[in-house]
Chains A and B, each alone.
Chain A
Amino acid sequence: MKVTWSRRHVLETDDWSREEIEHVLDTANGMLEVLSRPIRRAPPLRGRTVILFFAEASTRTRVSFELAAKALSADVVNITATGSSVEKGESLLDTARTLEALGGDVLVIRHGSSGAPYFVAQRVGAAVINAGDGAHAHPTQGLLDAYTLRAKLGDLAGKRIVVVGDVLHSRVARSDINALVPLGARVTLSGPPTLLPAAWRCGDLPSGVGYEPDVDRALDGADGVIALRLQRERQEAGLLPSIREYARTWGLTEPRVATMRPGAPVMHPGPMNEGVEIDAAVAHGARSLIEEQVTNGVAVRMALLYLLIAGGEPRLIVGAEPPTSIAGGEPPATPLPTGVV
């Protein structure tokens, strides 16, 4: 099986094929093994530089990328909003030019404006990974959620996953859809009508996605649920009567998650508001995969960093031997027997 990997950037998985997504998840398997070793480090990105440009605060995602880059022996440079000239009003165009001049092989960008990573990707030579842009996308979260669900449920074809909460403002919801649906899963959205995009609420939804305002009906018989974080500002913006009402109506409680299929997992991208979108008993209960998500996130990000650098366009050096003879072994992309030992 020869997988073609021609992605220069990871901006969103909305135009990715099932094969591409599976290739990332399969690669993440190998990365998870690296993370389980006594020495959690492998050398493939030695001498490469990964720049983490976070124009919006996010400890979890930034640390996850940093661990991923370091586990592959890359050099990591952090540029955060507070430490950069972004605060002084420097334009994104200037920032992109500066980042381009600095060099770097991969640029990981988190930004408050939907589409900002596309803007930057057009203006830098580095591979760009979107680490979350506005309310648009968070593709590495979507892929790690897909990885986590696949590890738990096996083939996701025909599986029904509920995504509940503030879908309107959630880049996670969009990327979950764009990672899970290509793998054959169906996604049921649930949440207050004011926190769903109007078109989706009115039935104009992406294929494979449905909307069920009643969370009890949405969860009944589901194969898994992902709760989204509820920002308290939504109440002030007039989108919610009260946080308390939200928690009672859409919060994940033990009786609610018990109506899913036996063993159906509960996930959350974090950070959680326990007692609002998810009860503590559920968040730390037997169905919770929230800690696995964190670990898997590092593995999936390692896979993406690795594939962007190692799996890019063929860059055969003139006069070099063809790949089969360079390492003296076999090309790794040939069939192999599995189940050794």
Chain B
Amino acid sequence: MRRTVNRIAHEIVERERDLSSLAIVGIRARGDALAKRLRDAIRANEGVEVPLGALDITLYRDDLTRVGYAPVVRETAIDFTVDDRVVVLVDDVLFTGRTVRAAMDALVDYGRPRAIRLAVLVDRGHRELPIRADFVGKNVPTSLGVDVRVRLVESDGRDEVEVVEMARV
């Protein structure tokens, strides 16, 4: 996983070039840790400190009434202006695209970025919206009957990606 993150960091730098207007924003809960790793990698490789933010998209989800547990609204932490920046959104798994849609809605409430890019660790397919990732760690073709779970040292004690059969509902 470390190598994958590093590769994505290199791709971002290669593509964006003007690092002074770059910002990295992770989507809670796993994306923000990945975003921090990308920021660290860019700092190590390029010696540049790219602003880092975290986005909570709970208020932007389109599936409120389907959520059976208490939604936890966490703070969004973006303490820089997003105007005219190239913002790289970071998430762990890209699936239907609805989370990313929500994240873009949330982000534009903070201002008008010059561009929004998307970096994901895993793209498992099955998009329901016209969204694609600019930077992908790994494409993992899956069936709808499985769940892709990303675990990170920061939150789960270890780095791993697991594809599990979902229990029938």
The answer to whether A and B touch in the complex, with CB atoms under 8 Å apart, is yes
- Name A's B-contacting residues (CB within 8 A): 2-5, 23, 26-27, 29-34, 37-39, 41-44, 72, 303, 306-307, 309-311, 314-317, 320-337, 340-341
Nearest CB in chain B: distance from A15 CB, A: 17
Query: Which residues of chain A come closer than 8 Å to B147, judged between CB atoms?
Result: 324-325
**Most B Cβ at <10 Å: residue of A30, A41, A336:** A336
Contact at A331–B64, with CB atoms within 8 Å?
Answer: no
Stretch at the interface among B3-11, B13-21, B104-112: B104-112
B154 part of interface (Cβ distance < 8 Å): yes
The 4 closest A-B pairs by CB, nearest first: A328-B95, A314-B68, A30-B73, A5-B70
Q: Are A329 and B69 in contact (CB under 8 A)?
A: no
Q: Is there contact, CB below 8 Å, between A44 and B60?
A: yes
Does B66 reach chain A (CB closer than 8 Å)?
Answer: yes
Roughly how many angstroms separate A44 CA and B77 CA in the complex, as a whole number? Answer: 19
Please state if B111 and A330 are interface contacts (CB–CB under 8 Å): no
Bound Cα distance from A26 to B28, whole angstroms:
16
Known contacts A317-B66, A323-B63, A328-B97; 20 further A-B pairs (Cβ under 8 A)? A5-B70, A26-B72, A30-B74, A33-B75, A39-B110, A43-B59, A43-B105, A44-B58, A44-B59, A314-B69, A315-B68, A317-B65, A323-B69, A328-B100, A334-B155, A336-B29, A337-B32, A340-B33, A340-B52, A340-B77
Contact A33 B76 (CB under 8 A): yes
Contacting residues, chain A, for B91 (C-beta < 8 A): 329
Q: How large is the interface on B (under 10, 10 to 19, 20 to 34, 35 or more residues)?
A: 35 or more
Of chain A, the residue at the smallest CB distance from B167 is A322
Please indicate the chain B residues that have their CB under 8 angstroms from the CB of A325 in the complex: 95-96, 144, 147, 166
The chain A residue sitting closest to B94, CB to CB, is A328
When A323-B68, A328-B99 are in contact, do A31 and B73 touch as well, CB less than 8 Å? yes
Q: Given that A42-B109, A326-B63 are contacting pairs, would A336 and B75 also be in contact in the complex, using a CB cutoff of 8 Å?
A: no
For the complex, give the distance between the alpha carbons of A325 and B75 in Å: 23
Q: Is the CB of A310 within 8 A of B98?
A: no
B60 x A23 contact (CB < 8 A): no
Which of chain B's residues 85-119 have a Cβ closer than 8 Å to chain A? 91-100, 102, 105-106, 109-111
